[in-house]
Every structure is written in C-alpha cells, then in structure tokens.
Chains A and B, each alone.
Chain A
Amino acid sequence: MTTSTDPRLTQVFRFLHARYADGVAELAYAFDDGEPMVERIRFPHAPALPVERKAAFEAALKLLHLVAGVSYYKAGVPPKIDVADGPLDDATADLLDALYLHGLAEFAYRNGLDLRGRISFPRFSPAPLRGTRGGAMNGAGFEERGERRDEGAASPHAPSLALPRRTLVPIGGGKDSLVAVEAIKSVGGEATAVWVGSSALIAACAERTGLPTLNLQRELAPALFELNQRGAWNGHIPVTAVNSAILVAAAILYGFDSIAFANERSASAATLEYDGQLVNHQWSKGYAFEQLLGEWLHTHVAADLDYCSLLRPYSELAITRAFARLTPYFDAFSSCNRNFRILGPKPADRWCGQCPKCHFVFLALAPFLPKPRLLTIFGRNLLDDESQAAGFDALLEYQDHKPFECVGEGAEARAAMYALSQRPEWQEDALVVRFRDEILPQLDVAQLALEPWLEPSAEHRVPARLQAALKAIA
C-alpha cells in the first residue's frame, strides 16, 4: 500500500530504483512517502551480460525505469516528479517529458485533465557542466559508471558494441507484425519473434512464424491494483513505449542490433484535437516517438542499436494488401482487442465483430481478398449488418471522430469503402448500399482512389541492413 489516501491527492511521484539480477529487472516507484511499488520484468533464460555491454545495459535499464513509470504516475498525476538518483540530462528529460505528455494525452482528455505544464522531469539546469553528474546520477543497482553520463547534453555518441546482426520483431497477434516478420524472412534476415506478457493468441501467431521466439513478462506492482480500487486515475497509457523500453534492454542482454516494430504511417495521425492539443491514441507508435527514442539510443546506449518501424512508410491499406498474401496466418491472427486472452478455434473467438479494430481490419482487407475468403476469416459479414453502421461511420469519420483505437485514417477507410462500392460482389451489402446512397454523394470521388494509399512514403528510419525487407512489403 503506497498511501492510505486518495491517489489523486498525492504530491510527488518518485522513481526510487531500478535493479537487475538473474534475468529479473526490478523497478520501484512511490507516491509521496508511501511504500515502494515494485514492478518486475522477467527475461527468460537470460545470458550473463558481457562486460562490454554493461554500461549500455545500465542505460537501457534506466530508460526502462523511467518509461515504465508512466503506468504508475498516471494513477495520481501529482504535480511533482522526483528521480532518486538525480536529475536527467536534457535529451533524456526531453524524451520523457514528451512521452508522458503526448502518450497520456488520451488519458488526460478522457479524464478531463490538462497535463501541459504539469509534466516536468527533473533536469540539470540551465546548462550543466561536463563531469558534474556522474556521481549524482548513480545510485541504486549497478556499479559506478560515471564516464558515459559525463557525455551528457553535448549530443555525443554511445560506443558501438558490435551487436549480433539480428533483429527483435515484436509480435502482437495482428496483421502488422506478421507482415514485418514475413518481410524480414523474405530477405533472409535473422530475427526472433518477441512479445511481452501472456497471450495464447500471440503465442500461436509467433509459433506460426517459424521464427525463434522470446516471451518476456511484465508484472505490474500489485500496489497499482490497490490504487485503482481507491479511485486512482485510469486510462490509456503509451504501452508501445513501455514495450519498446523492455525490448531495448532485451536487445542489449541477448544481443540484437535492431528492434523492428510494425507501426504504420497512420499511427502518426492524431485521433482528435482537444483544447488546442492533438490527441493521438497511438502516439508511442508514431514517428515522433520513434525518432526521439531511436536517436536517444544512439547517443545513450549503443551506436549500433537501431530502433525502427519496418512499416512506417506504408498506409494501413498497403499493409493489409501485403497481409492478404499471407494465407497461412488467416486462421491464427486477430487484431481484435476484446476476447484477447482466451481463445477458441472459431472466428468468433478471435473477432468480436463489434469493435473498431474488427471493423477496420475487415474493411481494409476487403479490397484485397476474395470476398468468401475474407468472410471465413471473420465468420460473418460485418458490412451486411445494419447494426454496425455507427461503427463504420466512425471509421469513415462520418458524423463522428476516429475511434480511440489503432485504426487507419478516415480517408483510407473511405477509399476502401469506395472501392467496395464499385464492386458487384460487395455493392448490395447493407452498409455498402448505405455508403453509396447517403455518404458518397457528400464526398469528392477524386479523393477516394485506393491507389495513392498503396504508394510508400519516404519517411522511415529503417537501417541499411533491413532496407531490402522494407521494399519487400510494397
């Protein structure tokens, strides 16, 4: 129990310590002067850490501690943030400030909070002198290592660690990560399918990839649950950032030179604008975060550790088109966020058919798969079901805003729907008829072409070694 009072009334959120031993990272936090809340991350069959990677691992662990704290911080959103082993350099503080502000934007919107000006990680100010912080920043957990920290704000480069040339590919059970996996496989890249937490769906998909697998575990502090019961703030957190930080530590520990997420172009688009602030449900899947973290890793962890998204140049539609070729996954994958943990063999066990993810994946795959095949994946025809009209309207951003879920852009959804409305095998389905009769007359047909969505953009941070895989998706 951290404190017996209402978590919303706390004053300080404290980062206490981060330790690692025997495959378990222990991350401790507290509100005010309460008991520590201890989270554990488990790295199965962790090898002994080579001495030349120790400094990098310590930096990764520090990052993980700071990033994973978002799950606890948001319970109380106190006005002050305290880091027990001392203030951060500017680059680190900037990264964390941005992550907490933008990553919690939806949380703030839904709870009617304004986090602007409230989130401020302690930093050396105004312009710290070199060599002043080594001692101050060290503390819990690892042995002294002042030399790296000294490089501080002067945007130095972390050393190259000659990490093995292989890639960690996070698997989510949905189509995107499977497209990324197959792209890497197609160019003969060495990769391991990795995921955090226990999910039968993800395990099944990971197994289907035929890649070696790595299943990491994140155990939230039980105290967080007690806080929730006492009225903590609750809501969406930037979970991709937490998983990214876990994978960074894993990459150093097990030896991988790259982490290739499967975040697509539309992840960077805001869900809505609220009181002058852009709210993006999937901010930590967006390009801004990818750049921030990727650069930070090069300066603070290892010059040869790359963090990127293999799908970044592509729209959801380009990705669903690529996925439409991957028949062997059709009876294993699911992007649905409901029924996620317990699975059965039927389509209805994997696809609830009601949520925005189901709606979007159905709509985005439809132009690229034979209709009967698509319907066997979902077990039903969502576009011939009048009761789903509101859900599809939201995707089309017709009389509604884009849902708070990881779905494609409204214009993409409109292009897919328009394509279907021109196809004889789809155009008599209830919601396609509705689109043709009600929505299409209000749209500019010139804006509805599918083809532009299939063109990759130039924006990505994929390292040279994986660029062939990037091209394989198109």
Chain B
Amino acid sequence: MKFGGTSVATLPRWHNIRELVASRRAEGARVLVVVSALTGITDALKKLCGEGDQGKRKAAAGAIAQRHHDLLGHMRLPLPATLGARLDELAALAAEGPARLGELAWAALVQAHGELMSSALGAAFLSHTGLATQWLDARDCLAAVALPNQNERTKLLSAMVEAKPDPVLNARLAAQGEVFITQGFIARESEGRTVLLGRGGSDTSASYFGALLKAQRVEIWTDVAGMFTANPRQVPGARLLQKLDYEEAQEIASTGAKVLHPRCLSPLREPRVPLLVKDTNRPELEGTVIGPQVREHAPSVKAISARKGITLVSMESVGMWQQVGFLADVFAHFKQHGLSVDLIGSAETNVTVSLDPTENLLDSDAIAALAGDLAKVCRVKVIAPCAAITLVGRGMRSMLHTLSSVLAEFDQLRVHLISQSSNNLNLTFVVDEDVVDDLLPHLHDLLIAAGALRTDDNVLFGPSWQQLYGSGEAVVSQAWWREPAQRSRLLAIAAEATPRYVYHLPTVRQQARALKSLTAVDRLHYAVKANTHPAILRVLAAEGFAFECVSPGELEVVSAAVPADVPLLFTPNFASRADFERGLATRATITLDALHPVEHWGELFRGREVVLRVDLGRGLGHHEKVRTGGSGSKFGLPVEQLDAFLRHADAHGVVVRGLHAHLGSGVLDAKHWGEVYSQLASLAERIGSIAFLNIGGGLGVPSHPGEAQLDIAALDKVLREVKAAYPHYRLWMEPGRYLVADGGVLLARVTQTKGKGSWRYLGVDTGMNSLIRPALYDAWHEIANLTRLDEDATGLFQVVGPICESGDVLGSDRRLPEPQEGDVVLIAQTGAYGKVMSSLYNLRGETEEVVIDA
C-alpha cells in the first residue's frame, strides 16, 4: 500500500492510513506500506541542496525538523529514536555541505531524508496505535542497476531498479512480522550510495516491492478514485476507468494522466501483479484495477488526453530522399543537444518530430543550436506551442470507422502531425495548443456520441468525475413529455394528426425563470427567431422579457403579440436601407453591425441612439454554421473599423449607446460570456457614450443524456465578477434557444422500416421539411418511440424522413424498441429553430403547431 505526501502530512490522514492497513490485516494479508515525504518536504530539501550558505542550510534543516516535531506533537508521541537519528543526520549533512560526498551524491542523500523521516514517524505512530509495524530501510531491498546510457546525474537522481521476485527477501520479512513501513523514492547503488528514483518515484518503489515480493496486489492510495477517460479538470464528464490492462494504463499515464507515473507499471507486468488505484478519502469507490488483459471486450477508446507545451521540429529537404544515413545524422543532432524525440511523422521529403517540454528545451539555447545545425542540411521550422491529443485504446485501427465525426472536428484546425504506432494502442494528433481547452471536452462528448468510447459498458466504465466529485448533485431533470399524463396527452394529439409540433408553455416559463435568476443581467431579450409562435411571445412578455427581432417581419409579429410598452431590439444583419427605415419607424432600438449603413445612410439615423455590434475576432459554438464571430463570419463590425464607425456616427449626430457581441450558439461554458462581457466593457471605455453592453445569447442546451447542463449559478457568478469591475454599464442578454428548445417536441408516425445490409432504417412521416437542424448542423435530438416508451430499446436504427434527399436523417444509430407502423415517434428539444426553419420542400405541407399550457 502506497501513500503520498498529503496522506502522511497530518494526524487525521494517519488515522485513515491506520484504518486501511488494519482492514487489509483483517483480510489476512501481510502489509507493506510505502510512504512519500510529508507534503512540501521534498521541495524544501531540494531548496536546501541549492543553498550555498551554511547558515541558511542549517536553518532550512531546522525548519524541516520542526515540521516533523509538530506532527509528532499532534500525535502526542515522544521522539522515536529512529526519527531522532534521521534528524541528526540531516542536520549534519546540512552543516557539512556537498564537498565531501560530491554534489550529486550529497543531494541524493539529503533528499532521501524526506521519506526516511516520514516512514520513521509512521512506524512509531502505527506501532503506538496497536498495529505492530517494522521500519524497513528500502535501500536494503532495492538495488539500483547501472544502465548503459546513464551519466552521474541520472545514476544518482533517477535510478532504475530491476525488480524480480525475490523469495529470500520474502522469507526474511515473513520472519520479522506482519506489517512493514518503508520509503518510496529511494534505493541504493552498487557502491553503496543512496540514490533517488526520480519523478513518480514513490509509486515506482511500491511497484518494485510488489514485484520483489510477488504481492497479491499493489494499492496506490491517492486523492482521486483512479484513472479517468480524460483529465477531469478539462472534462468534468470524464468517466472512471474501472479496468485497464498494463499497456493501456501505461499509454494513458504517459500521454497525460497524472495519477500514476508510467514507469510504475512495467515492473508488475511480468510477475502479473495487479495494481489498484484508490481514493484515500473515498475508500468505498471501486477505483481502477490494472492487470493482465483478461477477457476480450468490444474495442473501445479508453481515454482521450492532451499534452501541452509540445514543440515540433519540421525538417524539409529533397536530400533525404533515398539517402542512406540522413535520418541518423539528423537524429544525432537531437542527441547532441540533449533533446528527446517523442512522435515522428515522415514523408519522402519531410520529417517532423515532436519534443516534450523539458527544462532543457524551455530554458536553454538547445532549440536555437539544434535549428542552427539542422539548417545546414535541410530547411527547418520550429512549430510551437502545440498540444498532442491522444486517443488511447487497444485495437485503435479497428475503431477508425467509428471516429469519422470525431475526425471531422479536426477539419477546422491546423493539424501538424498524426501518429499511430504499431502497438495499435494510440492515435495522436498534434494541433495548436490554444485550441485544446475547448476542444477536449467536445471530443470526449463526440467519442461517446459516436459509440467509440463505449460508456454503456459498465464493467469498463464507472461514474463520471462530475458525479463522484462535482460540486453538488448534477440534477438530471426528466423531460416533461416523459410524465405519464403528458405522454398520453401527446399520444392523443398525435392521433388527430401528424406531423405536429407541440409546445409546452410551463417549460418555457420554467426556463425563463431560470434566466431571471441571473442577477447581474439588467435586461433579458428573447431572440424571437428561435420560435415566433404568438403564445410563446405572450408567455415571455408576461415573464418580463424584452424582444429581439432580426427582420421587419419579426418586428410586426412581435408588435402584434406583445403589449406596446415592451422594449424591442432590432438586430438585423446585411439589412437593406428599407429594412432600417421600417425598423426606425417602430419603437425598437436599432443595432448596426457594419460600416455601410452609417457611412452611406447616415442621415437615416441622425439624432438616434444605436447599438453597435462588434466582432471580437473569434467564434464559439457547436457547429461551424452557428459560429458568429471571427473573420469567417458575416456578423459584426471588425474592431479595427471602430474608429471609422464612431467618426461617421459623430458626423451624423448618432450616439452609440450600446455595444453588442455574440460569439455563437450552444455554448455551455459560463466563462465565455465573462470574456465577451469584459472585452466589450474594455472597448466601451474607449467610446464613452456607452450605457449598456449586450453580450448576446448562445446559452447551450445539452441534448445527450447525462450531458452537463449550463450552470446558471456559475454563469451568474462570472457575470457578477465582471460587473463588479465595470459597474457603470448595464448588462443585456438575448437568449433564444435556451428559452424554448426544451418546451417543444415534434411528433411523427412510423411509416415503415427497411433493412439494408446490417443497417436498419426507421421511416417516419416527416423529416428535414419539418426539422432541418440534424441535416444542417448535425444537431443531435433525442428520439423516442412514445408509443413504446417502456419497452426495451433493442434495435439500432437510422431514423429517416420521407424527403427525397440522402441527408434526410433525423437521427443515426438510435437504440429504440422494435417499432410498428403507426407508432408515435417524438423528436425532443424542437421548440427552437424547428417550425421557423421548416420548409415546403417536396410539398409535404405545413407542419402544424399545438400549444398546451399545463
């Protein structure tokens, strides 16, 4: 059992360790505990080693000793002799300095004291609490081996041990007792000097001991329940990996997961000792078991990870083509400059390699010197900062066909290198580093949606990190249409006619009230383009919403439906002069998003107060076609034209009263609005006349089961933070889909099924003519057989409509019960951009709308 620095730093955590050890003893196991140094001690020792002044070294050693005395004080233990001897030795080493032992050997011995002290302290505590524990010097058990590529530094500070099962040691320990405590991180080399095992050394020590003793298992106790399908800090929806084989686990560990050091798995592979990762604070959680590959699973991607700070070196030359030894010469330069190559991609005239972010790379002139040498034989380009995104899973090549939607995501990015090794465990893409934070959660979702990451297999995949550790329970509210009363009502509505949209007004009100809880927002507008049904407009007007329209037609419909004192906002794009004339004739506040209107039709706006929509130069959103920022988008005034706009405005007596930006749709990360808000505010400060900022909408509506909802409280917090910095601007928003998507469903009826090879098509009586979002945006809408809601979903279907277009697919690969002709199929979350985007294509008639209010 191995415990890390935070687990051994306080008395309560030692009680915890004692309980866990006792529980293993109760199972009849003999226990060897491997501990790290107390949190912060290794760093303090390292700092001590770098200190040239003897007085300061002594003071540092004194402070380190005091940490241990303090903990002993909490434990109400006298100073045990073993610990006393260590403290004395450390004080002596600090006083003496490196001269006698040599810099590196002295440093190794000083740093080894962190573990020597913590284990001595632990032995005293465990024995004192009635669990007789033998202190074992790890250096007597772990012998470092000399390796050909080692220099003095690596020999002493990142040593290797060849750990083969050792029955003699096993017998020796068996004779001594049942519970042992020893040190992680340290070993002894052939000359008898103390050496360190380098980064991740304590986990590696535990593995070495596991192999030496051919243990029943090695348990790594840490602060998280195990390895996850992605870094939970980047992807809160990452799932716990409950079972992995050694190779997969090693691949995941070496491509980003911090929970285990990759080195600690190989010693266990040959003796087939399983390794278990467990959470010290939550021992009831399953954890991750890493062992030999036991049984076949359907191939699944196990994890996605990202490593940042990657530097690529691209070498281009025709000289390499069919040249014997070219690559050998090139790689010799990397070796000479101390740079270790990780990934390699090659073409006939180009070789591109990746370098990990080592200190040598970052803080020396190594890369400049390397480029200088390489430039003599080829054209060299240093590309950075990059990130390597890696998919890990056994049998990766056989999964490529499932990855098409995932791979499509790379279409918009600069992919510098793709690598797939012959061990068939990974697939790596090297991209620009700055895209990774947004990309990773998205790819994780796509992998699940594509069926490449088979989270439906609950043997392999445990709960999500969000579920285990997330703040507050993620309340998965049940869709309104699943309630039995609503369901039978919908079936009745469908019995009259299909296809039909049904809008549930209480759900619209509920969403409206959720947004009204955003205390930072001074005015909420409903972006009516999502759904212009008068009943919905009236509900939102009653909830106190203002309205945002993008055309004279919308202005008319809204004006007819809502009271005359409700504020209106007219935010057209590429609107004609006539459009503006009609907009100006209403009470609406006008938003301009280009230079042309104020430059050429300035007199139209004389004396008016307007809002200016700017393009902050970047776009966000769930699909290219809904991103509304960045040069590739037709919306907004580029910031560099701001001065020109203001000059024209001033010349015509037009006052810019509001600033507006809108980045895109389907955004689920609260901090994006904080960014838009603060960028707009800093722009506003340059303008002076600004009174309010409109940060748009685009609030995401998650569609997949289990996908995290937009956290309204988190959004409010972000907005309030910005507001505190810019209290003088009122804040406006204009959500659309968030308000109405969930309230609407599309009802259709099954017409027939068709089999084609292994594919099964389920035909319904409407398609892209009623709902174009799946075809236009690849939008995912939940599809349910409302007639058979309680039956097992056994079949896998492509749900299609009757339109003569191959893109007329409402949903792909849907698990549904076996259907019958006439079954009612419900397509969920179609209250937004459903009916309003429907068409008469194929002349299948208008899709009716029905409103229910209870």
Q: How far does the Cβ of A393 sit from chain B's closest Cβ, in whole Å?
A: 13
Q: Are B309 and A424 in contact (CB under 8 A)?
A: no
B361 within 8 A of A: yes
Within 8 A of B (CB), among A369-409: 370-373, 375-376, 379-381, 384, 387
What residues on B are CB-neighbors of A384 within 8 Å?
Answer: 383
Within 8 A of A (CB), among B426-443: 432-434, 437
Q: Which stretch, B6-14, B24-32, B365-373, B569-577, touches the partner chain A?
A: B365-373
Q: Which stretch, B147-155, B481-489, B685-693, B815-823, touches the partner chain A?
A: B685-693
Number of interface residues of A (CB under 8 A): 37
What residues on B are CB-neighbors of A426 within 8 Å?
Answer: 382
Q: Which stretch, B99-107, B551-559, B674-682, B697-705, touches the partner chain A?
A: B674-682
Q: Are A375 and B691 in contact (CB under 8 A)?
A: no
What residues on A are CB-neighbors of B383 within 8 Å?
Answer: 381, 384
Q: Are A372 and B361 in contact (CB under 8 A)?
A: yes
Q: Which stretch, B57-65, B173-181, B538-546, B721-729, touches the partner chain A?
A: B721-729
What residues on B are CB-neighbors of A131 within 8 Å?
Answer: none
Q: Are B357 and A372 in contact (CB under 8 A)?
A: yes
Cα A428 to Cα B313 in complex, Å, equals 11
Nearest B residue to A200, CB-CB = B725
Interface centre among A348, A354, A370, by most chain B C-beta atoms within 10 angstroms, is A370
Assuming the contacts A231-B655, A375-B385, A429-B381, asked whether A370 and B682 have C-beta atoms less than 8 A apart, the reply is no
Assuming the contacts A380-B385, A428-B380, asked whether A228 and B688 have C-beta atoms less than 8 A apart, the reply is yes
Q: Are A423 and B371 in contact (CB under 8 A)?
A: yes
Cα A455 to Cα B740 in complex, Å, equals 66
Q: Which stretch, A144-152, A247-255, A270-278, A339-347, touches the partner chain B?
A: A339-347
A338 within 8 A of B: yes
Q: How far does the Cβ of A61 sit from chain B's closest Cβ, in whole Å?
A: 27
B478 within 8 A of A: no
What residues on B are CB-neighbors of A346 within 8 Å?
Answer: 437
Q: Are B368 and A341 in contact (CB under 8 A)?
A: no
Q: Which of B366, B686, B688 contacts A232 (CB 8 A)?
A: B688
B424 within 8 A of A: no
Q: Are B688 and A379 in contact (CB under 8 A)?
A: no
Over the window 726-758 of chain B, the binary record of Cβ atoms lying under 8 Å from chain A Cβ atoms (1 yes, 0 no) is: 101000000000000000000000000000000
Within 8 A of B (CB), among A457-471: none
Cα A379 to Cα B433 in complex, Å, equals 7
B363 within 8 A of A: yes
Q: How far does the Cβ of A333 sit from chain B's closest Cβ, in whole Å?
A: 17
Assuming the contacts A225-B728, A340-B682, asked whether A373 and B375 have C-beta atoms less than 8 A apart, the reply is no
Q: Are A424 and B679 in contact (CB under 8 A)?
A: no
What residues on B are CB-neighbors of A423 within 8 Å?
Answer: 368, 371-372
Over the window 361-398 of chain B, the binary record of Cβ atoms lying under 8 Å from chain A Cβ atoms (1 yes, 0 no) is: 11111111011101100011111110000000000000
Q: Are B368 and A338 in contact (CB under 8 A)?
A: no
Q: How far does the Cβ of A286 sit from chain B's closest Cβ, in whole Å?
A: 22
Q: Are A424 and B380 in contact (CB under 8 A)?
A: yes
Cα A13 to Cα B363 in complex, Å, equals 55
A425 within 8 A of B: yes
B529 within 8 A of A: no
B299 within 8 A of A: no
Nearest B residue to A384, CB-CB = B383
Q: Which of A339, A344, A380, A425 contacts B679 (CB 8 A)?
A: A339
Q: Are A380 and B433 in contact (CB under 8 A)?
A: yes
B204 within 8 A of A: no
Q: Which of A225, A337, A380, A429 contacts B434 (CB 8 A)?
A: A380
Cα A342 to Cα B674 in complex, Å, equals 9
What residues on A are CB-neighbors of B385 within 8 Å?
Answer: 372, 375-376, 379-381
A234 within 8 A of B: yes
What residues on B are CB-neighbors of A291 within 8 Å?
Answer: none
Nearest B residue to A222, CB-CB = B728
Q: Are B722 and A342 in contact (CB under 8 A)?
A: yes
What residues on B are CB-neighbors of A228 within 8 Å?
Answer: 688-689
Q: Are A342 and B365 in contact (CB under 8 A)?
A: no
Cα A323 to Cα B379 in complex, Å, equals 31
Q: How far does the Cβ of A336 sit from chain B's closest Cβ, in whole Å?
A: 10
Within 8 A of A (CB), among B695-727: 721-722, 725-726
B619 within 8 A of A: no
Q: Are B362 and A376 in contact (CB under 8 A)?
A: yes
Q: Are B362 and A370 in contact (CB under 8 A)?
A: yes
Within 8 A of B (CB), among A62-77: none
Q: How far does the Cβ of A10 sit from chain B's closest Cβ, in whole Å?
A: 16
Cα A423 to Cα B364 in complex, Å, equals 15
Nearest B residue to A428, CB-CB = B381
Cα A341 to Cα B368 in complex, Å, equals 36
What residues on B are CB-neighbors of A387 within 8 Å?
Answer: 631
Cα A288 to Cα B728 in complex, Å, equals 35
B602 within 8 A of A: no
A327 within 8 A of B: yes
What residues on B are CB-neighbors of A198 within 8 Å?
Answer: 725
A125 within 8 A of B: no
Assuming the contacts A338-B682, A340-B682, asked whether A373 and B363 have C-beta atoms less than 8 A apart, the reply is yes
What residues on A are CB-neighbors of B686 within 8 Å?
Answer: 234
Nearest A residue to B376, CB-CB = A424
Q: Are A380 and B366 in contact (CB under 8 A)?
A: no
What residues on A are CB-neighbors of B182 within 8 Å?
Answer: none
Within 8 A of B (CB), among A215-249: 225, 228-229, 231-232, 234
What residues on B are CB-neighbors of A234 within 8 Å?
Answer: 686-689
B311 within 8 A of A: yes
Q: Which of A342, A370, A425, A428 contacts B363 (CB 8 A)?
A: A370
B617 within 8 A of A: yes
What residues on A are CB-neighbors of B434 within 8 Å?
Answer: 347-348, 379-380
Q: Are A424 and B362 in contact (CB under 8 A)?
A: no
B671 within 8 A of A: yes
What residues on A are CB-neighbors of B657 within 8 Å?
Answer: 229
Cα A346 to Cα B436 in complex, Å, equals 12
Q: Are B725 and A425 in contact (CB under 8 A)?
A: no
Q: How far does the Cβ of B649 sit from chain A's closest Cβ, in whole Å?
A: 11
Nearest A residue to B311, CB-CB = A372
Q: How far does the Cβ of B418 sit from chain A's closest Cβ, in whole Å?
A: 20
Cα A429 to Cα B379 in complex, Å, equals 12
Cα A428 to Cα B381 in complex, Å, equals 5
Q: Are B357 and A339 in contact (CB under 8 A)?
A: no
Q: Are B367 and A371 in contact (CB under 8 A)?
A: yes
Cα A423 to Cα B371 in complex, Å, equals 8
Q: How far does the Cβ of B646 sit from chain A's closest Cβ, in whole Å?
A: 9
Cα A231 to Cα B722 in complex, Å, equals 25
What residues on B are CB-neighbors of A425 within 8 Å?
Answer: 367-368, 370-372, 380, 382
Q: Are B309 and A376 in contact (CB under 8 A)?
A: yes
Nearest A residue to B361, CB-CB = A372
Over the window 321-342 of chain A, the binary record of Cβ atoms lying under 8 Å from chain B Cβ atoms (1 yes, 0 no) is: 0000001000000000111111
Q: List 8 A-B contacts (CB under 8 A).
A: A225-B728, A234-B688, A342-B675, A344-B671, A372-B357, A424-B375, A425-B380, A429-B381
Q: Known A-B contacts: A228-B688, A348-B434, A372-B355. Give 7 more (CB < 8 A).
A: A342-B674, A370-B366, A372-B357, A372-B361, A372-B382, A375-B385, A376-B357
